[in-house]
Amino acid sequence: MKILYVTSELSPLASTGGLGDVAGSLPAALRREGLDVRVVMPLYKIIKQTYASKLQFLRWSIIRLGWRTMYSGLFTMEVDGVPVYLIDNDFYFGHDSLYIDYSFDIERFSFFQRAVLEALGEPMGFEPDILHLNDWQTGMIPVLLESHYKKCGFHLHVSSMITLHNLKHQGIHSKEVVLDLLDLPAEYMTETGVLMNGVPNFLKAGITYSSRVTTVSPNYSREIMTDYFGEGLNQLLLSQSWKISGILNGIDTELYDPASDPEIASTYTSKAWIKGKSLCKKSLQEELGLPKQAKTPLFAMVTRLDSQKGLDLLLHILDELLAEDIQLVVLGTGDPSYEKRLQDAQGRHPERMRAVLAYDRHLARRIYAGADVFLMPSIFEPCGLSQMIAMRYGTLPLVRQTGGLADTVEPYNKYEKTGTGFGFLNINAHELLFTCKEAAHVYREDRESWDNMVKTAMEGDYSWSRSAGEYEALYREILEETR
Ligand code: GLC
């Protein structure tokens, strides 16, 4: 079975968050199951700079994008045993960041999608059976495949499926712009085609024209069919629910392994973690310049600073929370207003809080290992990976029970004294605060429950082998339908 995984991010080459992590670990896991999975992505500036000696040039061609004629280079390199193809064009991808602005991104990923289809088959030396697409940046591929290729007799046996990592971003622009970029025949510019409420919508197109749609957790696949989580696409999703399923993400359990992580002050296992973890905590407190108090619960958040992640809830109760005997570290970058408010909070609570405004994968691992409680008060969360990483490091997640957070964290049950974390249900800042207080209370007063929970959390299976089989089954279903 030949699968081409099409993505705008791939960790460790170029990534801004969860999509990059998934792209960096799922294809390798599927290859271990014996599938020929390869990846295609843009050749961003950062990749060119970092991996110059590894990149192998395959060919170049000219792509037509409306009135533009653009150079498109095709390179390849191997990442973790996975062949990766990279689409080169400096005008579109030679920038410091992966995403730039709304309008230009539409053009950049229109180019990317056309270039991917041009590269299939002979140029790549690979004709996939299935294109596995991800998010809006790839949503027009099944439409273009049909309108520009299959209708002319090319790539007749290639099918598509799309994974929705986040419904909030859909890739929407005016008819004029999209027509100009993609030369779509008029028959596709309808409400049953690529239009959603009168305007082209890349994600909607991807959902409509793909053979299957997956989301990154079972719970999110149900949530998106409701008004609240559907971001305007819920009716469409409901009407196509027969082809939608939720497959839980996994994490890279080799990279995130407290038993062997070279990044952390002391390694530890689920059988013997108390000493190692307390050394990691002490060294983290030292690194952050926080008082080295072993008994003070250390709360942490590693996140994109985006409203999705529940930062408004946290900021609303931050002063009340830090009036308790707890410490807090937040690591992340994003919305400048959150950056400022977090920095201000650190100024008010220098003995208790650190805001590290950076995207730092190394410090992230020292935080996963050194913290006691990991906060994820998300407003919505298609899957979430950090809670799984935290559990693997024995740091108990405190989550709002939504999306994949509800699928992966078993909230503390005070009667049974069980769980793998703490949970609250409503989008309510004081519910978050009370749950934090409860976690701090269990941490201090009920060590037996705490230690059991840490052990259970650490022993959970968060690997891709849990769900790789579900992807494989889905690929087979698609193949059987088209053969
Ligand atoms: C997006 C979602 C996150 C998910 C990730 C990987 O970043 O917001 O919940 O875990 O994609 O699928």
Q: How far apart are CA 149 and CA 175, in angstroms?
A: 22
The rounded Å distance from CA 393 to ligand 1 centre is: 20
Which of 5, 249, 388 is the best mutation target for the ligand 1 pocket, counting ligand atoms within 8 Å of the beta carbon and taking the most? 249
Query: Does ligand 1 have an atom closer than 6 angstroms to the CB of 371?
Result: no
The rounded Å distance from CA 378 to ligand 1 centre is: 11
Q: Give the DSSP per-residue string, 135-165.
A: SGGGTTHHHHIIIIIGGGTSSTT-EEEEEES
**Domain 2-250+465-482 class, CATH top level:** alpha beta
pLDDT in 10s for each residue of the chain, 483 residues: 999 999 999 999 999 989 999 999 999 999 999 999 999 999 999 999 999 999 999 999 999 998 899 999 999 999 999 999 999 999 999 999 999 999 999 999 999 999 999 999 999 999 999 999 999 999 999 999 999 999 999 999 999 999 999 999 999 999 999 999 999 999 999 999 999 999 999 999 999 999 999 999 999 999 999 999 999 999 999 999 999 999 999 999 999 999 999 999 999 999 999 999 999 999 999 999 999 999 999 999 999 999 999 999 999 999 999 999 999 999 999 999 999 999 999 999 999 999 999 999 999 999 999 999 999 999 999 999 999 999 999 999 999 999 999 999 999 999 999 999 999 999 999 999 999 999 999 999 999 999 999 999 999 999 999 899 999 999 999 999 987
Q: How far apart are CA 254 and CA 381, in angstroms?
A: 24
pTM metric for this prediction: 0.95
Query: Does ligand 1 have an atom closer than 6 angstroms to the CB of 406?
Result: no
DSSP state, 395? P
Query: Does ligand 1 have an atom closer than 6 angstroms to the CB of 385?
Result: yes
**Which residue's CA is the nearest one to ligand 1's atom 6?**
18
Residue 25, judged by CB atoms within 10 A of its CB (0-12, 13-18, 19+), counts as buried
The rounded Å distance from CA 94 to ligand 1 centre is: 25
DSSP 3-state of 301: strand
The residue length of the chain stands at 483
Every domain range in the chain assigned CATH 3.40.50.2000? 2-250+465-482, 274-458
**Fold topology of 274-458:** Rossmann fold (3.40.50)
> How many CA atoms within 13 Å lie on the side-chain side of 122?
3
Cβ contacts of 437 within 8 Å, gap of 6 or more = 324
Query: Does ligand 1 have an atom closer than 6 angstroms to the CB of 386?
Result: no
- What does the block give as tokens for 371? 């913290």
The rounded Å distance from CA 92 to ligand 1 centre is: 25
The rounded Å distance from CA 22 to ligand 1 centre is: 8
